[in-house]
Structure 1
């Protein structure tokens, strides 16, 4: 089956805080690329997205595949693959995103429960995942994978909600695999398993990017990330009770998969091209029994690229930096900025800029970073004069201010990420790794030695104010 080309106006429902409203905003500024030819969800969609990412004229566009082979659902891609796109979706700038999210963390808006919702316009209680255009992205992936699913579960002991993004392999028409990162949803699952019960889960696709970003915040356990998402959007996230399970789903989502993570069943899952640009191996992992699929009548399917694409790691970096900055400032108030790098998979590397007042503070910052986000592996600490978003500046600090024998601090056998290829996995989802703090700050007392050689600032300013006269013949 194929789809017809549908104008965006028929997608938009007038709301300003949902998935299709964001697409409207991108189209209004000429940054929505419509692909009208038929495209296969098996590898071809991924290939087009990768080419769009790399093309100078198309890298800042969101992609709408209007004609997806075998499905009535259009696919949206490349929505989250740059910091600029996520900032635009949140109504801010790239450099101000961290402050915007930090402010939202201090002023959460609780969710609003509603009785009726666009995501319930079509309800399928005899579910068949084959109706969804779930792509296969990397060459040796174990099959089609849901990659943008916002997983909503509740703590079986307290009832507090958690939001996170997990990967889901399609096993059967009503069965998904699930790899749960060693974070809060896994704790929910383990608590349910200990009680001998399945864990209800709502998997929402096609939500406002603020929900996806908030799901990546490393907030304290039993803190609802959707309250932060509400603050980012300026209004409460609307939630609706699910049809078949004891859970709630975003009312304005495009698609919701209702299911239960079974406590007594596993299945071989993987491989899957992951954030480390390598394949996560096959493992025996839990499964999600799908109880229902609900969606809008004209639903859009959202896909997030993984592996060699920067999309899933960009989403992770933007979401994790604010909570890391907040945690570090609680320990060392003179921390100025943090950057979680794309090259480090948004999990392994953090760069921190600080005003150092005492020797040993960079090490304290490193330990605080590991405590706040325990999947980090390398923390690089630089002075506040270094622009941590400029790779050349960071390399300059490492080259001129770091003595390997003195300033590299290795901590052995710390909890790590099992998807890190150098980690030692000792059980499903459990691994240890050696970690490192690198102090690339100027030694106290050596400031004169490290004075930058520059043209006098007042001369640079004077010339810059009248620079055009140097470019004329008069």
Structure 2
């Protein structure tokens, strides 16, 4: 069987079809209004979704109510093992793979071929143009502000520098030709572009590409300092694939889009206008976010005035559930890469691996696997944790473990905590530090040390063995052999 070359969503799904228990399809009609996500919660969402849930296969819904010509795929990246298969890697090597790709970027190119994303074209000037009918965007819960595009690759260009960037943002359909877009203050580059365009009294052209190569979705989640303003994360996706991502010119705005996307929304971010995210439903909520809570609706969302929607024939809408294992993959693996890059530069060879665990949604918690080889390494493990905090400000808790502990197995991490950790000496607290506003405990309502929403006490849990006591903490030594001779796989 020939190996599938993944360059778009369809080839990624084809690869998953050839793998056991990684993709399932259903022809039973599903309502995108809360029902679709409700089904996937039980099948494979995982992450911080309320129990019962589990890690499981991706799902394609082939019969979506109100959208006879479209399908919806969910959970494509909702397992670390699946991400590794789609990136031709091993689960434990993903952080190192992304770090290396960020260090050796391949810039995207403009294709001269007719792009697949423009096989079908709908202009906003047409009388029957309606985003609600064109885009099968799910409403994740009955509390949501509306239908959300959760995996839209937003692409825009800075009005001063001409440098472009790709980022995933919260996009809610607000009308027949309008989307709201939420910019986390100071956290996303396209937000800075929109603010500069507004200062100049200009609209910001933008494209939203939906249903793309998973390498693009993973790469788009890198953040500073690894990818500063002006760094196009599509170049990391190019490095992951060994060839440039192909872009195409939009038809109605001066911007580019991903040429083989399933859908492309073309539009402009309007200056001087802010809207309430739940203006149509008045629920008070936005959508489920990665910590496992449904976020409050913002009253400071910007508006994208849509000019056109283009798509492939029989398009596949790709979506995800905010608190699911899919978010852990997209946010956590680039975070691991950033931490590896930062610590390797400061203390080469001491950091073996990093895991941004599911319980932290890929953002709040990291496990650092440290190797101590000489007496002077004692204390460096805590320095590594401080470097990780500086590399990724949204981290709240860091667990430090020795190289004999599997950092990807939280039971093993907690074993290290229970047998190598003393709370009175191995907890290091750093109060009053900016963290993440979506954690409801990062609030003055919980402790006076949080002077503002989003300020937290960062904590290091040092579960490593002191170097001078390593002989006291040797794990039971079992015989190394191949069990296949006795118990075939």
- Both structures adopt the same fold (TM-score exceeding 0.5): yes
Residues 99-110 of structure 1: pairs in structure 2 closer than 5 A: 99-110=96-107
Once residues 365 and 299 of structure 1 are traced to their aligned partners in structure 2, the CA distance between those partners, rounded to angstroms, is: 46
1:54 is displaced (CA, Å) by 7.0
- 1:331 maps to 2:346: yes
When normalised by structure 2's length, the TM-score is: 0.85
- Secondary structure of the residue that 1:449 maps to in structure 2? helix
Residues 356-367 of structure 1: pairs in structure 2 closer than 5 A: 356=372, 357-367=376-386
Aligned CA distance change for structure 1 residues 422 and 157 (closer, same or farther; 3 Å) = farther
1:69 to 55, 65, 69: 65
1:69 is displaced (CA, Å) by 0.6
- 1:445 maps to 2:452: no
- Provide the residue aligned with 2:227 in structure 1: 220
Extract unaligned runs of 5+ from structure 2. Answer: 47-51, 278-284, 446-451
- Provide the residue aligned with 1:342 in structure 2: 358
1:44 is displaced (CA, Å) by 1.6
1:470 is displaced (CA, Å) by 12
- Provide the residue aligned with 1:415 in structure 2: 434
- 1:50 maps to 2:41: yes
1:170 is displaced (CA, Å) by 1.4
- Provide the residue aligned with 2:95 in structure 1: 98
Once residues 415 and 261 of structure 1 are traced to their aligned partners in structure 2, the CA distance between those partners, rounded to angstroms, is: 28
1:240 is displaced (CA, Å) by 0.8
1:204 to 193, 206, 209: 209
Contact 1:317-1:341 within 8 A present in 2 as well:
yes
1:379 to 373, 398, 406: 398
Output one character per residue of 1:41-67: Cα deviation in whole Å (capped at 9) or x when no partner.
Answer: 1122112212221799x9543211111
**CA RMSD after TM alignment:** 2.6
Once residues 397 and 199 of structure 2 are traced to their aligned partners in structure 1, the CA distance between those partners, rounded to angstroms, is: 34
- Provide the residue aligned with 2:14 in structure 1: 24
Decide which moves more: 37-46 or 311-320.
311-320
Once residues 33 and 466 of structure 1 are traced to their aligned partners in structure 2, the CA distance between those partners, rounded to angstroms, is: 32
Aligned CA distance change for structure 1 residues 193 and 381 (closer, same or farther; 3 Å) = farther
Once residues 273 and 191 of structure 1 are traced to their aligned partners in structure 2, the CA distance between those partners, rounded to angstroms, is: 30
Number of aligned residue pairs = 448
- Provide the residue aligned with 2:120 in structure 1: 122
When normalised by structure 1's length, the TM-score is: 0.88
Contact 1:425-1:431 within 8 A present in 2 as well:
no
Aligned CA distance change for structure 1 residues 448 and 165 (closer, same or farther; 3 Å) = same
Decide which moves more: 412-421 or 66-75.
412-421
1:430 is displaced (CA, Å) by 7.5
Once residues 125 and 327 of structure 1 are traced to their aligned partners in structure 2, the CA distance between those partners, rounded to angstroms, is: 46
Decide which moves more: 198-207 or 441-450.
441-450
Once residues 465 and 214 of structure 1 are traced to their aligned partners in structure 2, the CA distance between those partners, rounded to angstroms, is: 37
- Secondary structure of the residue that 1:414 maps to in structure 2? strand
- Provide the residue aligned with 1:393 in structure 2: 412
Contact 2:38-2:141 within 8 A present in 1 as well:
no
Contact 2:45-2:75 within 8 A present in 1 as well:
no
Residues 68-467 of structure 1: pairs in structure 2 closer than 5 A: 68-71=64-67, 72-115=69-112, 116-126=114-124, 127-130=129-132, 131-181=134-184, 182-218=187-223, 219-221=226-228, 222-269=230-277, 270-284=285-299, 285-307=301-323, 309-333=324-348, 334-356=350-372, 357-424=376-443, 431-452=454-475, 454-455=476-477, 460-461=479-480, 464=481
- Secondary structure of the residue that 2:121 maps to in structure 1? strand
- Provide the residue aligned with 1:33 in structure 2: 24
- Secondary structure of the residue that 1:283 maps to in structure 2? coil
Once residues 116 and 486 of structure 2 are traced to their aligned partners in structure 1, the CA distance between those partners, rounded to angstroms, is: 60
- Secondary structure of the residue that 2:252 maps to in structure 1? coil
Aligned CA distance change for structure 1 residues 448 and 369 (closer, same or farther; 3 Å) = same
Extract unaligned runs of 5+ from structure 1. Answer: 1-13
1:99 is displaced (CA, Å) by 3.0
